[in-house]
Structure 1
Amino acid sequence: MTETTEEPAARRRVFADLTPLRSSPDYRRLWFGNTVSWIGQGMTSLAVSLQVYDITGSAFSVGLIGFCSFLPLVVFGLYGGAVADTLDRRKLGLASASGSFLLSIALVVLSLAGVRQVGPLYAVVALQAACFAVNSPARSSMIARLLPAEQLPAANALSSMTSTTGSLAGPMLGGLAVGWWGYRAAYTVDAVTFTAALYAMWRLPAMLPERGEESGSGKRASVADGLRFLAHRSNLRMTFITDLCAMVLAQPRALFPVVAVLWYGGDAKTTGLLVAAPALGALLAGVFSGWLGRVRRHGLAVLIAVACWGTAIAVFGLTRQLWPGLLFLALAGYADTVSMVFRNTMLQAAVPDEMRGRLQGVFIVVVAGGPRLGEFLSGSAADLFSPGVAVTGGGIACVVAVTLLALRWRGFARYDARDPQP
């Protein structure tokens, strides 16, 4: 009897803790629906890129897809968070998910109609980004209402597996679908898989924001109030600043096509391996995340994880053999997921419910804007100096910056999950 009870406990210490999936049917449906729909969205993302290139033959036109999604993510992320702190989050999530579903149907219709202009594709991408930016704060704010605080690290680790699986499997399946059956196949799969997310959101209970001392019962939530709240909460503010240190100072993704050729003598396949390595590391961090639930010093864990990201990127910049380079990129992806789990948990546990939507909106802006700014910075540094200096220098700068932040705001390292203080 002792063996059978100890064996599952030992597995939980190593592998992802599935307790949130077992304890909450609502969370289980939400997680499954998001996982399935993320794969479909990954298929659509690749299919749109391929279709735009097929129509225009221009890499610049493909790059505009990212620009079309960036602005809606920033604008609607902030205001979507404010709306999520005003309305029933279930209804808001259901409405925005329905919008994304209809936009997937629109892509199917465009492909069936044989439309050969990129304008409608850009418009759909921008609207999809707006729907996602509204949906994400509402959905993320609900997690802390569905699960007890001690299960939040496990839930965030499971969520990291959702996004990583979508990033890895979605484009791969999308490429196969487009190659065998055309663009409409990828778009149709996306529309079908989105029904799982819609069903999960529909089954949730009403989720009106709780009203506390931060906002009165009749006061309308505003973006400015959320930013003022954040300005006076050093622990929460540090979750964003440390992430920016990693994503802005040490983001080498834009240089992968260059270093694949210059450092490793490779080609597009080598670039694909470089892109996949951090995602694989992130997936492994989610799979082997059982230990995360036992960590109490979340702030210290974030500081160590971000420093590990910077160190791994710096060492990657020194490698000139492919497999060691892929290993350090995978380690960076692992560290990034650990940081994300604890940062998300702090945002869910230490933020009053009536502020969670707005803080999640700020989170979207940081996640959307930080890597893009980092890619611009690394590309500029590579042009001014060299790719090696840009990558290694960026990693070292990340470690130095997070060390200085830890010394300046020492209370962040003392943050204790048993008494979450913003």
Structure 2
Amino acid sequence: MTLSSTVAEEARREAGRGEAFAALRHRDFRFFWFGQLISVTGSQMQLVAINWHVYMLTRSAAALGLVGLVRVLPIILCSLIGGVFADAINRKRLMMVTQTTMLVSAASLALVTAHGLRSVWPIFLLTAISSAATAFDNPARQALLPSLVPARDFPNAVTLSFIVFQVAMIVGPVLAGLLLGVAGPAVVYALNALSFIAVIVSLALMQASGEVAAAGETAISFASLIEGLRFVWRTPIIVQTMTLDFAATFFASATALLPIFAADILRVGARGLGFLAAAPAIGAILIGTAIARIRRWWRPGALIIISVIVYGAATLLFGLSRNFWFSMLMLALTGAADTVSSVLRQTIRQLVTPDHLRGRMTSVNMIFFMGGPQLGEFEAGVVAEFVGAPASVVIGGLGCILAAIVALWRAKSLLSYELPGEE
């Protein structure tokens, strides 16, 4: 082998090694990625702590379901106008405001808990405030992402963003479980408040302007909101991905009931709850590191629907399980299936949406993407109150599978879609 061929071969190997992390070559995305890693870890810690805190205060499955309702109502009420804001004003500045609001909310929750909280209503109130801020934050964040990387690296950026979320879902719940056992929820809430600083700093360090790409002025108005709704409604593939997402997560939302499984069914306590809550992310990380290297997807719509079927089946088996390790395995499988589906759905939606409409498209999607699981948690809590947590989860898994079967019959645009080439 000649020197030149040896160098060429080494270059090819080096390029292959970097393929899974191609988006991290871009400075702004690196700042965004690391900031999100810290912040989402704190948020996942707080989610576990809130569910455990509410259950310890009430011992009620219905109260756990209400946590999901409190999270989703502000999103339903605020997300559409949040999308208009994301398409009308600087997205970086909007995120700084929303991140600061969530910081103050978490700090307030830490303070009232440290002073001996005996009622759940302050938890519900501050959770609602944080969810309202999320309704403005998510459209701005997802609309900002395509401006941080070139188009050819965008699917990789989406995958790495999901990996961040899943890493946080491993580290956050495990840390929360450990801290809840030795220090209580107030410390978890305080650490979450500090985590928002990472995103604020990363936004300040980015070179990207955060301004919306010029395509006509977007005003903060009812007409702008209607324009976004009209675009979504007239784009069948977006409607199909959103409705499938909503149906699947509405029926298969077992996470709200994890404190009941940890405390009363599997009997593993707060530490076990942390590991159960982290299990979906373990599966997501394993599959995410594999799919990060994929540059071309064959029949992405069919893969989405197959993933939803696997998600529902694993949820059903989790509901039937009485073994901690098998339960962990099934939850990990739900995370793996959800990651494949989520990466493909978000990639398709962002690529078919013009930049000046991405915030509004994302805000509509939030009603489905976040409304489904949060309303599903409420539904799961109410059903569990009457038939028990295991039966509630099994029924949800069956509903998820049924939704995917309906999509195989009805979602023609999704099934026929092909991702564009690198050009």
What interval of TM-score do these two structures reach, taking the shorter chain for normalisation?
0.7 to 0.9
Q: State the SS of the aligned residue for 1:418.
A: coil
Q: How does 1:12-411 map to 2 (within 5 A)?
A: 17-22=20-25, 24-48=26-50, 56=57, 59=60, 64-107=66-109, 109-110=111-112, 119-177=121-179, 180=182, 185-204=187-206, 205-212=208-215, 220=221, 222-253=224-255, 266-268=267-269, 273-295=275-297, 297-316=299-318, 322-377=324-379, 391=393, 394-411=396-413
- Write out per-residue CA displacement over residues 160-210 of structure 1, whole angstroms, 9 at most, x where no aligned residue: 122222233223323444555565543443333322100112233332323
Counterpart Cα distance in 2 of 1:337 and 1:65: 24
Report the CA distance shift for 1:291/1:397 in structure 2 as closer, same or farther (over 3 A): farther
Bigger mean CA deviation after superposition, 404-413 or 143-152:
404-413
Counterpart Cα distance in 2 of 1:274 and 1:191: 24
Report the CA distance shift for 1:340/1:53 in structure 2 as closer, same or farther (over 3 A): closer
> How far off is 1:398 after superposition?
3.3
Amino acid at match of 1:200: S
Q: State the SS of the aligned residue for 1:245.
A: helix
Counterpart Cα distance in 1 of 2:384 and 2:113: 39
- TM-score normalised by L of structure 2: 0.82
Contact 2:63 2:381 in 1 (8 A): no
Contact 1:313 1:329 in 2 (8 A): yes
Bigger mean CA deviation after superposition, 376-385 or 36-45:
376-385
* Structure 1 unaligned blocks of 5 or more: none
Report the CA distance shift for 1:4/1:58 in structure 2 as closer, same or farther (over 3 A): same
- Write out per-residue CA displacement over residues 5-39 of structure 1, whole angstroms, 9 at most, x where no aligned residue: 344455467xxx211111x2111101111111112
> How far off is 1:320 after superposition?
6.0
Amino acid at match of 2:291: S
Contact 2:309 2:404 in 1 (8 A): yes
- TM-score normalised by L of structure 1: 0.82
Report the CA distance shift for 1:180/1:304 in structure 2 as closer, same or farther (over 3 A): closer
Counterpart Cα distance in 1 of 2:396 and 2:39: 34
Contact 2:51 2:259 in 1 (8 A): no
Contact 2:169 2:277 in 1 (8 A): no
Counterpart Cα distance in 2 of 1:346 and 1:317: 32
Counterpart Cα distance in 2 of 1:39 and 1:288: 22
What's the counterpart of residue 10 of structure 2? 4
Q: State the SS of the aligned residue for 1:85.
A: helix
Contact 2:259 2:273 in 1 (8 A): yes
Report the CA distance shift for 1:314/1:228 in structure 2 as closer, same or farther (over 3 A): same
Q: Say what the alpha-carbon RMSD is for the aligned residues.
A: 3.6
Counterpart Cα distance in 1 of 2:330 and 2:418: 30
Q: State the SS of the aligned residue for 1:43.
A: helix
Counterpart Cα distance in 1 of 2:131 and 2:389: 31
Counterpart Cα distance in 1 of 2:383 and 2:118: 38
Counterpart Cα distance in 2 of 1:378 and 1:120: 23
Counterpart Cα distance in 1 of 2:117 and 2:220: 47
Report the CA distance shift for 1:43/1:325 in structure 2 as closer, same or farther (over 3 A): closer
Q: State the SS of the aligned residue for 2:88.
A: coil
Report the CA distance shift for 1:417/1:89 in structure 2 as closer, same or farther (over 3 A): same
Aligned residues with identical type, % of pairs: 31
Contact 1:144 1:349 in 2 (8 A): no
Bigger mean CA deviation after superposition, 362-371 or 322-331:
322-331
Counterpart Cα distance in 2 of 1:391 and 1:328: 12
* Structure 2 unaligned blocks of 5 or more: 1-6
Contact 1:313 1:391 in 2 (8 A): yes
Report the CA distance shift for 1:211/1:257 in structure 2 as closer, same or farther (over 3 A): same
Counterpart Cα distance in 1 of 2:27 and 2:103: 23
Contact 1:300 1:415 in 2 (8 A): no
Report the CA distance shift for 1:130/1:254 in structure 2 as closer, same or farther (over 3 A): closer
Contact 1:315 1:392 in 2 (8 A): yes
Report the CA distance shift for 1:79/1:289 in structure 2 as closer, same or farther (over 3 A): same
Contact 2:171 2:278 in 1 (8 A): no
> How far off is 1:392 after superposition?
5.2
> How far off is 1:404 after superposition?
3.2
Q: State the SS of the aligned residue for 1:294.
A: coil
